[in-house]
Structure 1
Amino acid sequence: MFKKKSVLTFLQAQVAAFLGGITDYGLMILLTEVFKLHFTFSILISGTVGAIINFSINRFWVFKNQSGYSSHINSQLFKFALVVLGSISLKSLGTFMFQKVFQIDYKIGRLITDLFVSYGFNYPLIKNWVFKVNDKQNVIQSN
């Protein structure tokens, strides 16, 4: 059975991911279609902007009571940056593969790739590594 807190955390994280993701996706299209950047470069730039939004919402809303809210921001930022680098790399590669191998428009390929990367890579790492609660923090927060 799922705990209510786990389900709520998951749903909140999806809101954070959605807001970061919609910014990322919209900016990718803008940079590609209007500014004529190759979509892989657009994904790099838009992914960075979306990641800043996602990190901020996760830190200050989703995991604020679980991750040592007032401390460890440098560690969290470093870990989050590593997740973002992996995420952007996977999204760029996946989108490129869908476009080149399967001749799927980059916008559609990106959406397909995002589903796999978001649920199979980003969420587990953000929850269980970037904002992981350790036993010491649990003791401090429960007092």
Structure 2
Amino acid sequence: MFKKKSIFTFLRAQVAAFLGGLTDYGLMILLTEIFKLHFTFSILISGSVGAIINFSINRFWVFKNHSGYSSCINNQLFKFALVVLGSISLKSFGTLILQKTFQIDYRIGRIITDSFVSYGFNYPLIKYWVFRVNEKQSATE
């Protein structure tokens, strides 16, 4: 049985992912359609901006893991940056494969790819690795 706290954490994480993803997707369209960048480059730029939004919301609202220690945030930022690099790589590659192999429009391919990357890659790593709360931290809260 799921704990009530776990369900709310998951739902808050989905709100954070949605807001970061909405920014990411909208900026990708803008950069590709208006500024004529190839969508793989647009995903790199827009993914980085969306990641900043996502990190901030996750740190302060979803996981409430924001102690004042600079080493803590540096560690979280480093881990989050690694997750973002993996995520952006998977999104770019997945979108490109769907577009080249199956002739799926990059906008649709991106949504399909995002679904798998968000739930199968981003959420587990962000929850259990980036913002993991150890027993010592949870005892003081």
TM-score by length of 1: 0.95
Distance 2:127 2:102 in 1: 33
Distance 1:114 1:69 in 2: 30
**Identical counterparts, % of pairs:** 80
Partner of 2:68: 70
Q: How does 1:56-135 map to 2 (within 5 A)?
A: 56-64=56-64, 67=65, 69-71=67-69, 72-135=72-135
CA contact (8 A) 2:60 2:66 kept: no
Gaps of 5+ in 1: none
In the alignment, residue 107 of structure 2 is paired with which amino acid? Answer: K
What's the offset of the Cα at 1:139?
2.1
Distance 1:70 1:19 in 2: 25
What's the offset of the Cα at 1:105?
0.2
Q: Deviations over 1:95-128 (max 9, x none)?
A: 0000000000000000000000000000000000
Cα RMSD, aligned residues only: 0.8
Are 2:51 and 1:43 equivalent residues in the alignment? Answer: no
Greater CA drift, 15-24 or 68-77 = 68-77
Partner of 1:15: 15
CA contact (8 A) 2:20 2:50 kept: yes
Moved over 4 A (4+): none
Partner of 2:2: 2
